[in-house]
Amino acid sequence: MSADSHVAAMAPIFPGSVDAAGQRATLGVLGGGQLGRMFVQAAQRLGYFTAVLEPDAQSPAGQVSHHHIQTGYDDPAGLAQLAYLCQAITTEFENVPAQVLQTLALTRPVAPGAAVVGIAQNRIEEKAHFAACAATSGVGCAPYAVLETPAQLQAVQAERPELLPGILKTARLGYDGKGQVRAENAAELAAAWAELGGVACVLEKKLPLAAECSVLVARGWDGQVVSFAPQRNVHVAGILAVTHAYAGALPPALAERAREAAIAIARQLGYVGVLCVEFFVVDDGSEHGSLVVNEMAPRPHNSGHYTLDACDASQFDLQVHALAGLPLPQPRQHSPAIMLNLLGDVWLDAAGRLREPDWSAVLRLPGTHLHLYGKLQARPGRKMGHLTITGPDIASVKAGARRAAELLGLPGLDG
| Residues that constitute the known binding site | 123, 169, 174-180, 204-207, 212, 235, 294-295
Please answer whether residues 95 and 173 qualify as being in contact, where contact means their C-beta atoms are separated by less than 8 angstroms: yes
Distance CA 298, CA 94 (A): 6
CA distances in angstroms from 322 to 11, 178, 274, 332, listed in the order given:
12, 31, 8, 17
Q: List Cβ neighbours of 140 (8 Å cut-off, separation of 6 or more).
A: 130, 131, 134, 292, 293
Q: Where is the binding site for ATP, in residues?
A: 123, 169, 174-180, 204-207, 212, 235, 294-295
Rg of the chain over CA atoms, in angstroms? 21
Distance CA 162, CA 172 (A): 24
Distance CA 59, CA 180 (A): 28
Distance CA 130, CA 133 (A): 5
Please answer whether residues 340 and 389 qualify as being in contact, where contact means their C-beta atoms are separated by less than 8 angstroms: yes
Helix (H, G, I), strand (E, B) or coil at 75: coil
Q: List Cβ neighbours of 98 (8 Å cut-off, separation of 6 or more).
A: 114, 115, 117, 118, 121
Distance CA 306, CA 38 (A): 12
Helix (H, G, I), strand (E, B) or coil at 58: coil
Please, how many CA atoms are within 13 Å of residue 139, restricted to the half-sphere of its CB? 25
Distance CA 389, CA 263 (A): 28
CA diameter of the chain: 65
Q: List Cβ neighbours of 162 (8 Å cut-off, separation of 6 or more).
A: 143, 205
Residue 411's CB is within 10 A of a number of other CB atoms, namely 13
